[in-house]
Structure 1
Amino acid sequence: MTDLAKPTPMLEQYWRLKKLNPDALLFFRLGDFYELFEQDAEVAAPILDLQLTSRDGRVAMCGVPYHAGTQYARRLLQSGFTVAIAEQMEDPATARGLVERQVVRILTPGTIIPEDEGMSPRLGVFYRHRQGVVAIVAELSTGTVHIAQGTLRSQDVRAIEHLWSVWAPDEAFSNGPAAEVGGTTLRDGSVYFSRQSLLHKEQVVEQKLGLGSLRRWGLEDNGPIVESLAALARYLDTLQPGTLRHLRDIRWHPLHGEMHLSARTLRQLDICAGPHSLLARINYCCTPMGSRRLQDWLEHPLTDISEIRRRAQAVSHWIDHAIERAQLRELLQSVGDLSRRVARVVMGVSKPRDVAGIVAALKCMPELCVLVENSQTWPLPVRVNGHPWIALLQRLDVLADPAPARWDDSPLLRAGVDADVDDSRSLLTGHRQALIELEEQERQRSQIKSLRVGYHRTFGYYIEVTKSQAKSVPKDWQRRQTTTHTERFVSDALKAVEAAIATAESRIAQAEAQWAHNLTAWISEESEWLTEIAAWLSELDVISGLAEAAVKHRYQPPQLTGADSRVTIAAMRHPVLEALVNEYIPSDLVLDSPHQALIITGPNMGGKSTFMRALAQNAILAQIGGWVAAMRYEAPVFDAVLTRMGADDDLVRGQSTFMVEMEEVAAILHQSSSASLVLLDELGRGTSTYDGLAIAQAVVERLALPDGPLTLFATHYHELTDLADHNPSMTNLTVEVLEEPLGPIFTHRVIPGAASQSYGIEVARQAGLAPSVLRRAEHHLKQWEQSAHQRVGTGQQITFDNPDPVAAALARALRELNPDDLSPREAWLWIVEWQRRIHQGVV
């Protein structure tokens, strides 16, 4: 606190609010700015690129425009700070004495409501208890709540940690000491958990989150989830008192009802991130909330074949009805981001255009309902039947067109809504005409032709003349302000007009402020079903968007075969890459029992990785209910896609590329099941040739069991192709290469068979390596190939698949043995002898 002889009342007010929020940077509303003082200003100024100033030379201060406060606050949150917002609780123009101010909300990384529609900050609660784990992630900006619950079994814990890594909350706490889960730091939030009765916790949840009876959400008597929601409610209450009725889009994530996709797998397969992701390719949603829903579906594909088929049937309907689909999509474009607009209203950070957007969405509902009811594919939620939007729309449809940017901008209401406001506007128009007439009268009276009447927000209306003309003004004018080149005056007549204008404007402002309060209150009261409608519309948007993508990209309907391991895919394409190349060459994949593991060999840049990614992306498309980039797709429902692709290291943890690779492979071996899809690309390349080859063979042998996952293993270890001769679960694929006189041509088509070479030097030639370097490489290659042939025999490949000589000798001895010729003693001695040989490795 600054040592001042006599602090101003405003500074004392600031200190009082700061004392209540000592750990937050305080945004203190002063007119059109949020000001920061003293140490808060010194901390924030360099982060926000602001210049420190001072009114009295002692109290440091800096400020940001209040309409851009969220943007500046986000930068402070990204730097690790919390921001408290102190608002003016009364109109400064009518306040007597010091304007009352209160902290109305505290912003944290997981609770800020961003202006950017592409952002959805997430707040997480991770609750460990004696019987299991609960994970809850809430998006306050959209009204979405993700919930997952599991036991303490390692399989459940891993599944929840996987979901947590995909959700990636911006802020999270737990009921224990600080820890890290799924890449997110959990802070100790024990203070928000209590030992009170389950009934009391249910009441906390119902009051803060406005969920009503928990039975309707399937939460009754579920103590761990109620405890977690109660902790979430208590934490939110410390940040912003009041009921958050918009948290209605509750999404349950059954641990074994969704395809397992880790955050790393999503990144390696280019599912959601970047301009060339699967999301970017198929996102034909008409609303931002639809785009967010599509991303959620891609991150959590289904394994319930009945639900997959329900979505697929809806997609097929809109594909078959092109005219209705076009009408639906046109209406959805008018709906906009309904969920975020409702959330902004409930959170108290809305603008008039949010209400205008809600009105536009409600006006589309009658036609939308008719279209959907005729399709019989995606019915309205039961709880919002009865068309409740009709009555709300009648109350909300009052704003001017276009709606103003801020609540205190006028006109807020359109003409004909409020008679008192219309009367005041008429008077205001008359008074402004009087200003024009007064200006002309004063010109004639003073004979100053350049005279003009102007307005200043601080000094009000004035009559302005140049300094040279100031001596000629009428005596009844009173000096109001001096500028560099002009003098400004007022007259009694101007004061009278100014007072009349101020009175009219005040009446309009008071009436429109009451309307603003009423509009936001009505929406908050109805936010429960508004949020449910928004969730339904977002799903409908995704369904129609998937139909649009299927039509535009010539996708075909998939056939999911349940538990059948047979895979038949004809003319499979990579959904994203096909749009980036001039002519994409599709490939086929036919896999019958007992084949479970495919060894894929071929040249660099030949298309091995593309083939594997294409299979994974099409599997994900099929299991979100969409159509696929193939002429025919028959495959089982995969419970997971597990990948090891690309080269990553972890410098923060001091892990090399090879160490990260081995950790990922270990996780795949632990997590894969007979219903999983495993993709391994160039396993073992981060160490010596023989170490890498040995590890690669051991891993693929472990996966290629009769009850193992469907495995695609791309490699340059051609020695591994021999495994298919000895293991019935394995088969070989290769990238087609046409040998031409001018050099090999890579067709990028994957076909059955094994590659004869890697064509590494040819790829280097195409990449532009100098001819001298290529000639030297060819020389070294011939030398090493000759050396390898001399070590293992002419024409023999290096292989790790030679049979064990001791095992072969034992097999021969067993075939020649006649048990009827042996006494018990001789049989015992025979077993002892072979135990010795096996231990010593002697034939």
Structure 2
Amino acid sequence: MDDALGPPEKMAERREELTPMMTQYFELCTQYNDSLVLFQVGDFYEAFCAAAETVARRCEVTLTKREDSTGKYAMAGIPIDNAESYVERLLEAGYRVAVADQVQDPEEATGVVDRAVTRILTPGTLTEDELLDGERNNYVGALTADETYGLAVLDVSTGDFYATSVDSESAVADELSRFDPAEAILGPGATAAQLPDRCTVSTFDEDAFAQQRSTEHVEQYFGSADRLLPTTAEVRACGALLAYAEYVRGGEDGTLDYLNHLTRYDPQEYMLLDAVALRSLELFERRTVHGRENATLAAVIDETASALGRRTLDDWLRRPLIDRDEIATRHDAVGEFRDDVATRENVHDELRDVYDIERLISRIARGRANARDLRSLAETLDVIPQLADHLDGADCEKLKSLRERLDPLSEIRSLIDDAIQADPAREITEGDILKPSFDEELAQLRETERDGKDWIDDLEASERERTGIDSLKVGHNTVHGYYIEVTDANLDRVPEDYERRQTLKNAERYYTPELKEREDQILRAEQRADQLEYELFSSVRQQVADQSERIQAVAETFAELDVLVAFGTVAAEHDYTRPVVGYPPASDKQVTVDGIHIEDGRHPVVERTETSFVPNETVLDSTDRVAVVTGPNMSGKSTYMRQVALISILAQAGSFVPASDARLQIIDRIFTRVGASDDIAGGRSTFMVEMTELADILDAATEQSLVLLDEVGRGTSTADGFAIAQAVTECIHDEVGALTLFATHHHDLTAVADELDGAYNLYFRTRQDDDGVHFEHAIERGVADASYGVEVAATAGVDARVVDRAREILRGTDGRNIPSWDTTASDTEAAVLSEQKTNGSRRGVESEQPLSHDSGPADTELLREVQQTLAEADIATMTPLDAMNVLANLKRQVGDAGRQPSEQTE
């Protein structure tokens, strides 16, 4: 399309030629040059020129053209009534959207209608319910780089505001992963590389990060910055974030008055779950595209009744506690709810009627709430007395405290009940929102309006009787007001006091002086009443906003109760038990739990999605800190490791756990190296990603950490992979000291574990019969006898020709392509033959000369003899001396076969 004006930024060249409306549009585009401006024209938001092409393409709407004195140019619009769905597409595409509304009544405008940008929509600062996920917080972050890194995150829709500082770039990424911000602004020195992958980076005035300016911003909202925030980096991050939030989402006066609480926290106060752990453990999202819906930890324990509770559940899982006493207080409350069915169900039922008042109070404070929102708030506050009654007999201190925090807010409830109609109109400027009894003047105006309309209602009957015209009608329209309509056939009977108002095709419309007087009275009363209602409503709304801090405190209480009830429900319905975390009950608290001891542990997600689940025990402590886990593919190694981590997370979040007994030390961080992934865009292979994650683990893990390793070293050659796996095992055992589960198919590693004082072997039982391989999913101490990879391939539906050929190669029965000892011909063979490589060295990897791939009949026969010997060896029952004798004989056989004939003769 011929775009006569070009992009909005090019309009300046022809500014003198623009129409008044396009001049207004151009000025707004210039002022908000970092955003896509949506410009209200009647019932649509329009975009012009190049912006129109963007809107048409992203929103899939028709691209039209507008023509005026300057020429033709592109134009695209979206309906205001359904704008959110289109705006969402623009935000997902990475645009910021500036909404320019008409701020003047078109009937009062003498020229072009005044317009102004009333809100800027960005991914991290949304407050519209239609654009938000009610179950998740929506954070915007700010990052500064000083002597330390300062970071702040704010949910503009709820007022949740957090700040902290860390010392390294990796710690920045770890902390931000807790909150998963949708958007961030960066101060000088900060880079986007430190942000989560899905976080949109927005530009903002760097001056907002200046120390003096940011300090003033913080103190405007929260008082002394020095008292709240110990580092200049945190002050700068918080101040800049407040400035940004005001810029994009400020209220009628440009401020965010409902922001009344800034939480400064120490990262050490919570278990750290970085982005890798959150993804690997599937706390909130499935890693596999075709996995079962809702098969995440958050989904299976979500028995919350409200949006407040669901967001708090998310927060508790992202930030499990470290403080043992606080964990215990949550467990006390969960236990009481689990055992007291009536109280649990009554509290849950009350919380189902709780509206999302965290987000509501932000709209109220910004002057964007309507009368229905206030009614929703009142209905929510109505549940407080009932909740207090249900908690009246609570025994534990946590529930007693929550009950005391249930501020009844009686004056707010009474104010709303007295002022707002039970079913108010949605619009707040057109009346029908307040009870007339709320204000004497309003009552008089509505009475005048009502009396006038009653008189008009009676006018039709009285005029029919006076004129004798049975078809006479009294009506009203917005253009001509009230009228008396008479058909042409009855015009000869029209009284002399009728004055013509409008001529129709087959009728005439009239008014009388008395009707005109009544109409003026009604309109004056109605207009003044509507205006007065809006003024009174705004006053009521402001009085409610003034109590935002109290309302937010009640919202937090609702949310905590909701999660504790949910935990109690899950514990009761799914046989969860109370864990001992940190120290035994009734102890002097000087005795701490050593390691992780779980009996009959279950995976909280898998047990819900499978018809049967085999519980297993876990022991990791100062005696046995590293467990090397072997077993066939599909036997349950990954599930087992993840279940240990999830049980620890649930316990420290305050939940009971899926086990018959659990005694757990405090875990400061969970590290996971589970599953394959790559970073193609970043130029990193699967193996490089694995090694990077491994480096992070070895650098940051402590004795209080839990480490899960799955198939470390798989992405390279067998020799390199085993060498890395062994070195990692030794480093964690000797240097790091973390509690570790290491699942591996490097069966050589089981021999290493046997020789490390703080390590031991675990394996998953499997049996094989004529019907195939059967996975029992039960774990025991010891070493698995095989991986059954070929059998798993067959089960997965791999072509029978491939499976049969693989079995031939594995058995070495075809006389060619027999694998050398450096490849895993069979896990059983590799586990034993690897001893030949060690050659007496506990941690060496010196290899004997392997059999050639071009082995002849003699070598093939030798291999069969070795296989026969191994098959007859009862590894599970033989003593170490017996095993050494078997290995010595095998070595002698192989050595004899490898000598030249002359050597054998000698």
Q: TM-score range by the shorter chain?
A: 0.7 to 0.9
Match of 1:522 in 2: 543
Alignment partners' CA distance in 1, 2:158 and 2:642: 32
RMSD over aligned CA atoms reads: 4.0
Q: In structure 1, what residue type is equivalent to 2:412?
A: L
Say if 1:95 and 1:604 are closer, same or farther in 2 by CA, change over 3 A: same
Match of 1:492 in 2: 511
Alignment partners' CA distance in 2, 1:716 and 1:501: 87
Match of 1:599 in 2: 628
Q: Does 1:549 align with 2:549?
A: no
Offset at residue 623 of structure 1 (A) = 0.6
2:239 paired residue among 214, 230, 234? 230
1:26 paired residue among 22, 34, 37? 37
Offset at residue 447 of structure 1 (A) = 8.9
Q: In structure 1, what residue type is equivalent to 2:38?
A: F
Q: In structure 2, what residue type is equivalent to 1:191?
A: E
Match of 1:243 in 2: 255
Match of 2:179 in 1: 167
Say if 1:226 and 1:56 are closer, same or farther in 2 by CA, change over 3 A: same
Q: Does 1:282 align with 2:318?
A: no
Say if 1:427 and 1:646 are closer, same or farther in 2 by CA, change over 3 A: farther
Alignment partners' CA distance in 2, 1:105 and 1:721: 62
Instruction: Judge which range, 371-380 or 501-510, deviates more.
Output: 371-380
Q: Is the 8 A contact 2:766 2:775 kept in 1?
A: yes
Match of 2:124 in 1: 110
2:366 paired residue among 330, 347, 369? 347
Alignment partners' CA distance in 2, 1:477 and 1:331: 62
Q: Is the 8 A contact 1:125 1:136 kept in 2?
A: yes
Q: Is the 8 A contact 1:64 1:72 kept in 2?
A: yes
In the superposition, the TM-score normalised over structure 2's length comes to: 0.78
Q: Is the 8 A contact 2:747 2:831 kept in 1?
A: no
Offset at residue 440 of structure 1 (A) = 8.2
Alignment partners' CA distance in 2, 1:794 and 1:9: 83
Match of 1:148 in 2: 164
Match of 1:360 in 2: 379
Within 5 Å, which residues of 2 pair with 1:45-444? 45-53=56-64, 57=68, 58=72, 61-92=75-106, 100-115=114-129, 116=132, 117-118=134-135, 120-130=137-147, 132-150=148-166, 152=167, 154=168, 157-177=169-189, 178-183=191-196, 184=199, 189=204, 191-193=206-208, 197=212, 202-207=215-220, 210-212=221-223, 218-219=227-228, 222-239=231-248, 240=250, 241-274=253-286, 275-372=294-391, 374-375=393-394, 377-378=397-398, 387=407, 389-397=409-417, 398-408=419-429, 410-414=431-435, 416-422=437-443, 424-425=445-446
1:588-647 deviation line (CA, Å, top 9, x unaligned): 223454211111111211111111111111110001111000010112111111111122
Match of 1:696 in 2: 725
1:804 paired residue among 841, 848, 852? 841
Match of 2:667 in 1: 638
SS in 2 for 1:798: helix
Alignment partners' CA distance in 1, 2:820 and 2:37: 76
Within 5 Å, which residues of 2 pair with 1:631-710? 631-705=660-734, 708-710=737-739
Q: In structure 1, what residue type is equivalent to 2:575?
A: R
Match of 2:865 in 1: none
1:193-248 deviation line (CA, Å, top 9, x unaligned): 46565xx75443232xx324558xx5166543333322223333433353313224
Q: Is the 8 A contact 2:136 2:311 kept in 1?
A: no
Q: Which runs of 5+ in 1 are unaligned?
A: 809-843
1:395-446 deviation line (CA, Å, top 9, x unaligned): 2223222344343465212463345545555555566667777778999999
Match of 1:831 in 2: none
SS in 1 for 2:684: coil
Alignment partners' CA distance in 2, 1:805 and 1:320: 54
Offset at residue 803 of structure 1 (A) = 3.2
Offset at residue 336 of structure 1 (A) = 2.1
Q: In structure 2, what residue type is equivalent to 1:391?
A: E
Say if 1:367 and 1:569 are closer, same or farther in 2 by CA, change over 3 A: same
Q: Is the 8 A contact 1:462 1:480 kept in 2?
A: no
2:803 paired residue among 756, 763, 774? 774
Q: Is the 8 A contact 1:372 1:378 kept in 2?
A: no
SS in 2 for 1:549: helix
1:343-396 deviation line (CA, Å, top 9, x unaligned): 122233323332222212222233434555653533799999794722222222
Instruction: Judge which range, 294-303 or 693-702, deviates more.
Output: 693-702
Alignment partners' CA distance in 2, 1:627 and 1:62: 55
SS in 1 for 2:266: coil
Match of 2:852 in 1: none
Say if 1:628 and 1:5 are closer, same or farther in 2 by CA, change over 3 A: closer
Say if 1:577 and 1:383 are closer, same or farther in 2 by CA, change over 3 A: closer
Q: Is the 8 A contact 1:45 1:62 kept in 2?
A: yes
Q: Does 1:613 align with 2:642?
A: yes
Alignment partners' CA distance in 2, 1:491 and 1:351: 39
Alignment partners' CA distance in 1, 2:342 and 2:370: 35
SS in 2 for 1:285: coil
Q: In structure 1, what residue type is equivalent to 2:378?
A: V
Say if 1:790 and 1:140 are closer, same or farther in 2 by CA, change over 3 A: closer
Match of 2:533 in 1: 512
Match of 2:290 in 1: none
Q: In structure 1, what residue type is equivalent to 2:145?
A: R
Offset at residue 539 of structure 1 (A) = 1.9
SS in 1 for 2:375: helix
Say if 1:740 and 1:437 are closer, same or farther in 2 by CA, change over 3 A: farther
Q: Which runs of 5+ in 2 are unaligned?
A: 1-10, 287-293, 584-591, 824-828, 846-906
Match of 2:761 in 1: 732
Alignment partners' CA distance in 2, 1:437 and 1:40: 56
Say if 1:8 and 1:490 are closer, same or farther in 2 by CA, change over 3 A: farther
Match of 1:783 in 2: 812
Alignment partners' CA distance in 1, 2:582 and 2:789: 39
Offset at residue 582 of structure 1 (A) = 1.2
Say if 1:192 and 1:745 are closer, same or farther in 2 by CA, change over 3 A: same
Q: In structure 1, what residue type is equivalent to 2:268?
A: H
Alignment partners' CA distance in 1, 2:706 and 2:507: 80
Q: Is the 8 A contact 1:462 1:489 kept in 2?
A: no
SS in 2 for 1:674: coil
Say if 1:60 and 1:447 are closer, same or farther in 2 by CA, change over 3 A: farther
Percent identical among aligned pairs is 32
Match of 1:830 in 2: none
Match of 1:838 in 2: none
Alignment partners' CA distance in 2, 1:80 and 1:806: 53
Match of 1:837 in 2: none
Instruction: Judge which range, 489-498 or 619-628, deviates more.
Output: 489-498
SS in 1 for 2:222: coil
Q: Is the 8 A contact 1:122 1:138 kept in 2?
A: yes
In the superposition, the TM-score normalised over structure 1's length comes to: 0.83
Say if 1:383 and 1:363 are closer, same or farther in 2 by CA, change over 3 A: closer
Alignment partners' CA distance in 2, 1:576 and 1:243: 44
Alignment partners' CA distance in 2, 1:401 and 1:516: 14
1:221-278 deviation line (CA, Å, top 9, x unaligned): 6543333322223333433353313224534432222112111211111112251111
Offset at residue 683 of structure 1 (A) = 2.2
Alignment partners' CA distance in 2, 1:488 and 1:30: 36
Offset at residue 6 of structure 1 (A) = 8.0
Say if 1:305 and 1:504 are closer, same or farther in 2 by CA, change over 3 A: same
Say if 1:267 and 1:687 are closer, same or farther in 2 by CA, change over 3 A: same
